[in-house]
């Protein structure tokens, strides 16, 4: 998987401070951390923005 920010390599890590149930993804280049909750919120945010743009 590639990083959305810098296109670097994402690696899975166990980071209990972010998620107790699942591993998080961390970019080895820029340090971007993506956990399941962050990913879910980004998908929701993009959907809302698309609806607003269509309504305008």
pLDDT on residue 9: 98
pLDDT on residue 21: 76
pLDDT on residue 31: 95
Sheet containing 10-13: order of strands:
10-13, 24-27, 33-34
- Give residue-wise pLDDT tens across range 9-39: 999 998 777 667 788 999 999 999 988 888 7
pLDDT on residue 52: 67
Every domain of the chain and the residues it spans: 10-55
Q: How confident is the model at residue 49 (pLDDT cuts 50, 70, 90)?
A: low
Q: Which of 5, 47, 49 is nearest to 34 (CA)?
A: 5
Radius of gyration for the chain, computed over Cα atoms and rounded to the nearest angstrom? 14
Q: d(Cα 55, Cα 44) in Å, to the nearest integer?
A: 17
Q: What is the pTM for the complete model shown?
A: 0.63
């Amino acid at each position: 998987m590639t990083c959305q920010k810098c296109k670097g390599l994402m690696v899975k890590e166990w980071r209990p401070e972010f998620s107790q149930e699942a591993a998080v993804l961390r970019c080895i280049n820029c340090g971007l951390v993506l956990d399941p909750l962050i990913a879910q919120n980004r998908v929701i945010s993009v959907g809302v923005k698309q609806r607003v743009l269509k309504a305008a």
